[in-house]
Structure 1
Amino acid sequence: MFDQFTAAVAAARTPGQRVRAQAMLENAACAARLSSMADLLEQAHRASGSADRDRWRCDNWASVCAQIGAAQTLTAGMVNSLLTHAVVLREKLPKVGAVFAEGLITYLLVRTICRRTALVKDPAALAAIDAELAAELRGWGAKSLDQTDADIDALILRHDPHAVRRVQDVVRSTGVTVDTDGATGVSRIEATVEATDGAAFQRRVELLARTVCDRDPRTADQRRAAAVGAMGFGWDRLPCMCETDGCAAASRPAVGGVVIHVITRRDTLHGTTDQPPPDPEPEPPTTPEHPEERFDVDPQPPDDGDEPSPDPDPDVETDSPNGESGSNPVPAGDLTAQRRGLVGEQPRMLSKPLREYTITELVDEVSADRGQYCPASPGVILGGPVLPAPVIARLAMHATVTDLIHPGHAPPEPRYRPSRALADFVKARDLRCRQPGCTRDIDDLDHTIPYPWGPTCASNLAGFCREHHLLKTFFPGWSSVQYPDGRIVFTDPDAQSSTSYPGSRLLFGELCEPTAPAATRGTPPPKHTAGLTMPTRAITRKQARDKRIDDERERNTPWAEQYLRDSIPPF
């Protein structure tokens, strides 16, 4: 199938010719990949019992998405988008798909076409749009995104005015977006709300920002930003950061019902105060939520008498904390000072106005401060981004600190539900759902070998989001094997294998130290679902999609009717 494309690449004589030939090969390969995804979905629908699974909470579509995500290490959102476009090309726009298969258009353009034509329902209109688009695409040329949208919409207008995508203006009128920068530990929150809600929010932020004492080092804007976080935790006041004895506003507020788990090492907590960290509290009883605002845990490998770690590789230079060698290494800073440096007025970059500098003086002054190396390790929010050590040290000032103990080779627990200590360890080791390609938070802990055949121990427990927990438990054809170091090898219905590694492997490798192997009791059945029932949907995924299309077309009706009236000539 790709012989002509690979032959064109081989025959190219210049870099420009190779770029053109390789671009067409890439486009054709992407088209073939989408076609295979559509084949995989059709195969799932042809399987025995498939019709009943369309109402399952984890349905045929979810199983195919998991299979594709595992094969390509793609997130669930990306796979959903790819499979949707594959189905659209197969069922609604086959002629556009044929142009794509010839390598003449990119996936970016195909994605735009699928999105802009999603509201077209009439088969005749779809066929006409497909034919005209396929003819136009052969000479489409380079266009901006806005011009591409406009040209596709103009074609849709001629065949189905109700199908033009205009609902974005309605959807974007209200909503909240939280965008987190994993490198800095800062989130940007954007919200569009009604005027009364905005006024109430502004007043609440101002009141919370004033609950600290006059010695708090933060600026007014920084206190207002911290007040937004206090509202999220359900606090009735803002903890003061003056760090002076006797401050009445410095204590941690009462629990507000929201728990954020942060995993870090002990060296990061040493920068929070001048006092050593408190002794770990005894394990609390198993409850749905641990009553604390922050959950800072310190990964501790088991003390089983192993020999100390060998010295670093002698071939690796370690003259400075960040690996630089030479006479002028970057200095290691003090974590407490770095934490305190996160608040207060922004320091001046230059000591005098810019206009008074020569180029040489400006370069010398800007490059004089090389910064400081952070002496402590970073941490991570459970299921979230990595946080720098100074940010965690500041958060830990008003958090509950609980030690995380590696279970080592401890025997399995004699019950189905793991203890709080074991559950915390497994979540900290895995960080996110263990299904290959999934980035969702952990909702459930699952026994890889079903209980009671498999034990309740770290080597037989893994964290999953709810959808992939249901997939692993109920859906035929899926199986997995877990190893003592936390690795899990998944096998999909096509007998293809994918390996999932614990999320803590890079930052907290000690959490992946092997634990006691899981010993089975008897031979469990392939899918032990006796007495269990897969949750079902009120309507199928297709019915839900059709309803969204109908609702959006209905919202377009007034505009479409006005457009049609304006299109009538005045004579």
Structure 2
Amino acid sequence: MLEHRDVRTRADRHGLAQLQATLSANEAVEALGLINEAAGSVCNHDPRNASTRRADALVALLHGENGLTCQCGSETCEAASPSGRSTAPSRRKPLLHIVCDLATLLGLTSDPASIDGYGPIDPDFARELAADSTWQALFVDFRSQAAGNRPRRQHAPTVLPLVTRRDRLSREPKGCGDRIRAMQRLVARAPDIVRRSDGHGAQPDPPPGALTYAPGAALAAWVRAVDGHCRFPGCSVPANRCQLDHIAEFDPSDPRRGGWTIASNLQCLCRHHHQVKTYRLWTPVMLEDRAIHWADSTSGLTAVTVPERH
């Protein structure tokens, strides 16, 4: 039965989340005992209620602390002993991927932000997190970045049918449905654009890191931030729980010949749909603005998916 143990999170309301653990009976009792012991390291004048102290105690224990800092405000508090004092200032801050526009971060607008693995958060909360964080920023224009890495056709030029202003993706359709329909119209008018790329992004030479299978932290963060979720049709598994798939397969025996590890050759796929793609049951092709055309190898069905952010 021990193989059924697990720890998971689930989003709650008002910026809260639930941390759920499935443990053996003795582990659960021991864990609660340690939490209660740490929560009881403050004096009776601490203003927090019992449930809040238990939550603070759990976080303190996860950071390797053995108690809480009493918040009674008294300089003579007996609970402020070395054994009960928290070491909060030395806590290692975790890595969070917070996505928001620069104007919101600067307080000029109040568009919602989001935390990967949780979901939307209040813009004031995002600014509060930003003020107490060490940032490794990814200030990018997703559409221009995608356009810069857009794979070009490796075959003879084809004269495409006229595309009206209504069909152009640069018109910035309001929703994902509009963007998908616009791309489907382009594919219907010019089916030749759905042709597998060599995964080199029309670059003559591989950029740094392109011949290494695992993408660097900055590239991986960018792909996850733009895609937002699994790119297989109809799948909404969050990007932070997805694997990064090479659309044109990486060749470990000859990395230069195979698909490169670059933005235009990477997509987020959950574990199940990564296997579906690996077994060639469905074939993806990267199009404009990171839209992906999928084709079912058995039934001939096709679908287009677009990234969450563009």
TM-score range, shorter chain: 0.5 to 0.7
The answer as to whether partners of 1:213 and 1:240 remain within 8 angstroms in 2 is: no
Counterpart-to-counterpart distance in 1, 2:124 and 2:40: 25
The answer as to whether partners of 2:264 and 2:286 remain within 8 angstroms in 1 is: yes
2:92 maps to which residue? Answer: 254
Over aligned residue pairs, what C-alpha RMSD do you find?
Answer: 4.4
Q: Which residue among 35, 46, 62 is the counterpart of 1:205?
A: 35
Deviations 1:185-208 (A, max 9, x none): 222456676664344222332455
CA shift for structure 1 position 453: 4.5
1:492 maps to which residue? Answer: 296
CA shift for structure 1 position 456: 3.3
CA shift for structure 1 position 176: 6.8
Counterpart-to-counterpart distance in 1, 2:229 and 2:282: 20
Amino acid of the residue matched to residue 248 of structure 2?
I
CA shift for structure 1 position 488: 0.9
Q: Which residue among 456, 462, 475 is the counterpart of 2:267?
A: 462
Aligned residues: 224
Counterpart-to-counterpart distance in 2, 1:203 and 1:221: 14
2:11 maps to which residue? Answer: 180
Counterpart-to-counterpart distance in 2, 1:420 and 1:177: 24
- Evaluate the alpha carbon distance shift between residue 421 and residue 225 of structure 1 in structure 2; reply closer, same or farther with a 3 A threshold: same
CA shift for structure 1 position 457: 2.6
The answer as to whether partners of 2:68 and 2:86 remain within 8 angstroms in 1 is: no
Counterpart-to-counterpart distance in 1, 2:222 and 2:102: 16
Counterpart-to-counterpart distance in 1, 2:114 and 2:97: 9
Q: Which residue among 428, 440, 447 is the counterpart of 2:246?
A: 447
The answer as to whether partners of 1:431 and 1:442 remain within 8 angstroms in 2 is: no
Matches within 5 A, 1:362-381: 376-381=110-115
The answer as to whether partners of 2:98 and 2:113 remain within 8 angstroms in 1 is: yes
1:404 aligns with 2:158: no
CA shift for structure 1 position 220: 4.6
- Evaluate the alpha carbon distance shift between residue 202 and residue 461 of structure 1 in structure 2; reply closer, same or farther with a 3 A threshold: same
1:76 maps to which residue? Answer: none
Counterpart-to-counterpart distance in 2, 1:393 and 1:241: 27
Q: Which residue among 217, 228, 232 is the counterpart of 1:435?
A: 232
CA shift for structure 1 position 483: 2.4
- Greater fraction of residues in helix: 1
Counterpart-to-counterpart distance in 1, 2:268 and 2:235: 11
Counterpart-to-counterpart distance in 2, 1:250 and 1:215: 20
The answer as to whether partners of 1:239 and 1:251 remain within 8 angstroms in 2 is: no
Q: Which segments of 5 or more consecutive residues in structure 1 lack a partner in the other structure?
A: 1-169, 272-320, 322-374, 506-511, 513-571
- Evaluate the alpha carbon distance shift between residue 467 and residue 239 of structure 1 in structure 2; reply closer, same or farther with a 3 A threshold: farther
- Evaluate the alpha carbon distance shift between residue 427 and residue 191 of structure 1 in structure 2; reply closer, same or farther with a 3 A threshold: closer
- Evaluate the alpha carbon distance shift between residue 200 and residue 487 of structure 1 in structure 2; reply closer, same or farther with a 3 A threshold: same
- Evaluate the alpha carbon distance shift between residue 483 and residue 192 of structure 1 in structure 2; reply closer, same or farther with a 3 A threshold: closer
Q: Which segments of 5 or more consecutive residues in structure 2 lack a partner in the other structure?
A: 72-84, 150-202, 251-256
The answer as to whether partners of 2:56 and 2:68 remain within 8 angstroms in 1 is: no
TM-score by length of structure 2 reads 0.55
- Greater fraction of residues in strand: 2
1:482 aligns with 2:277: no
Q: If you compute each CA radius of gyration, which structure gives the higher value, 1 or 2?
A: 1
Partner SS, residue 251 of structure 1: helix
The answer as to whether partners of 1:405 and 1:421 remain within 8 angstroms in 2 is: no
TM-score by length of structure 1 reads 0.33
Counterpart-to-counterpart distance in 2, 1:397 and 1:225: 23
Counterpart-to-counterpart distance in 2, 1:206 and 1:216: 15
- Evaluate the alpha carbon distance shift between residue 216 and residue 252 of structure 1 in structure 2; reply closer, same or farther with a 3 A threshold: farther
1:236 aligns with 2:64: yes
Partner SS, residue 285 of structure 2: strand
Counterpart-to-counterpart distance in 2, 1:213 and 1:394: 29
Amino acid of the residue matched to residue 448 of structure 1?
I
- Evaluate the alpha carbon distance shift between residue 497 and residue 202 of structure 1 in structure 2; reply closer, same or farther with a 3 A threshold: same
CA shift for structure 1 position 501: 1.7
Counterpart-to-counterpart distance in 2, 1:200 and 1:456: 46
Counterpart-to-counterpart distance in 2, 1:239 and 1:395: 22
Counterpart-to-counterpart distance in 2, 1:449 and 1:239: 52
CA shift for structure 1 position 236: 1.6
The answer as to whether partners of 1:252 and 1:398 remain within 8 angstroms in 2 is: no
- Evaluate the alpha carbon distance shift between residue 434 and residue 176 of structure 1 in structure 2; reply closer, same or farther with a 3 A threshold: same
Partner SS, residue 249 of structure 2: coil
Deviations 1:77-113 (A, max 9, x none): xxxxxxxxxxxxxxxxxxxxxxxxxxxxxxxxxxxxx
Deviations 1:202-232 (A, max 9, x none): 233245547899999865533422443455x
Deviations 1:154-182 (A, max 9, x none): xxxxxxxxxxxxxxxx9xx998775423x
Deviations 1:330-376 (A, max 9, x none): xxxxxxxxxxxxxxxxxxxxxxxxxxxxxxxxxxxxxxxxxxxxx63
Counterpart-to-counterpart distance in 2, 1:479 and 1:263: 30
- Evaluate the alpha carbon distance shift between residue 250 and residue 501 of structure 1 in structure 2; reply closer, same or farther with a 3 A threshold: same
1:421 maps to which residue? Answer: 218
Counterpart-to-counterpart distance in 1, 2:105 and 2:69: 18
Q: Which residue among 85, 89, 100 is the counterpart of 1:264?
A: 100
Larger RCO, structures 1/2 (Cα 8 Å, 6+ apart)? 1
- Evaluate the alpha carbon distance shift between residue 470 and residue 402 of structure 1 in structure 2; reply closer, same or farther with a 3 A threshold: same
CA shift for structure 1 position 416: 2.8
Partner SS, residue 254 of structure 1: coil
Partner SS, residue 284 of structure 2: strand
Deviations 1:476-515 (A, max 9, x none): 3421111241211111121111122212x2xxxxxx2xxx
Counterpart-to-counterpart distance in 2, 1:217 and 1:482: 56
- Evaluate the alpha carbon distance shift between residue 395 and residue 479 of structure 1 in structure 2; reply closer, same or farther with a 3 A threshold: same
Amino acid of the residue matched to residue 221 of structure 2?
D
Counterpart-to-counterpart distance in 2, 1:453 and 1:195: 51
The answer as to whether partners of 1:454 and 1:460 remain within 8 angstroms in 2 is: yes
CA shift for structure 1 position 446: 1.9
Amino acid of the residue matched to residue 231 of structure 2?
R
Amino acid of the residue matched to residue 490 of structure 1?
W
Partner SS, residue 222 of structure 2: helix
Q: Which residue among 116, 133, 154 is the counterpart of 1:382?
A: 116
